[in-house]
Amino acid sequence: MLKANKKSLIIASIVTILPVLIGIICWNRLPDVMATHFGVNNEANGFSSKAVAVFGLPLLLLVILWLGTFITFNDPKKQNISPKMFSLMVWIPPVISLLAAATVYSVNLGYKPDVTFLSELLLGLMFIVIGNYLPKARQNYTIGIKIPWTLANEENWNRTHRLAGYLWMICGILLIINCVTRFAPAEWMVGILVIMVLVPCIYSFWLHVKKGL
């Protein structure tokens, strides 16, 4: 499995740490203390040293990328993880790294991006893509909704992931619509995340108790 994905992993790793190179190139133009976290009003509410801002997140995401890869390669049911699902897992850290760096660097270089818009757009697109793949995921211990009832019964796994797939795609679409229309405050993203996590888990438990799955 490693040999088959070696090229993809190398490229994803390079893309993940690419913001470090960009930060080094822009080093003298960046402030010593950089804004790295932003509230829903687009105002900075978290700050880090230049070194942490430039090196911290990309290196952390690189560790997450390789940790996820290691866990996947050692999954007892790794044969159930499709190449597309694995590729999706591999490319999430690089995408987050690039977009986070683009936001942080642009703000600290004096530009005024709409951070809330970009965050909702990114999350919305990610939820749609992940939701599209969730119903196709087969039982494994790495990727998917890994709770006792889905892991204990294949039919429970399939039904739960089918519901979660639709739910994640709907929530993703709502986030994208909201980042354009602003029909709801940005704080509602927290509620969306809670629903996306809790509803499939509750449904899985219901299947286990009421349907014996």
Q: How far apart are the first and last CA of the chain?
A: 32
Question: What pLDDT, on a 0 to 100 scale, did the predictor assign at position 213?
Answer: 79
Q: In the chain, what are the domain boundaries?
A: 1-109, 114-213
Question: What pLDDT, on a 0 to 100 scale, did the predictor assign at position 156?
Answer: 95
Residue 132's contacts (CB-CB under 8 Å, 6 or more residues apart) are 165, 169
> Contact 131/166 with Cβ under 8 angstroms?
yes
Question: What pLDDT, on a 0 to 100 scale, did the predictor assign at position 4?
Answer: 64
- The whole-number mean pLDDT for each consecutive block of 10 residues of the chain, a chain of 213 residues, reads 76 96 95 88 86 95 94 90 88 94 93 86 92 93 93 95 95 90 76 89 94 82
- 29: nearest Cα among 84, 119, 100, 106: 106
Question: What pLDDT, on a 0 to 100 scale, did the predictor assign at position 118?
Answer: 87
CB atoms within 10 A of CB 71: 14
pTM reported for the whole predicted model:
0.86
Question: What pLDDT, on a 0 to 100 scale, did the predictor assign at position 16?
Answer: 97
Question: What pLDDT, on a 0 to 100 scale, did the predictor assign at position 192?
Answer: 83
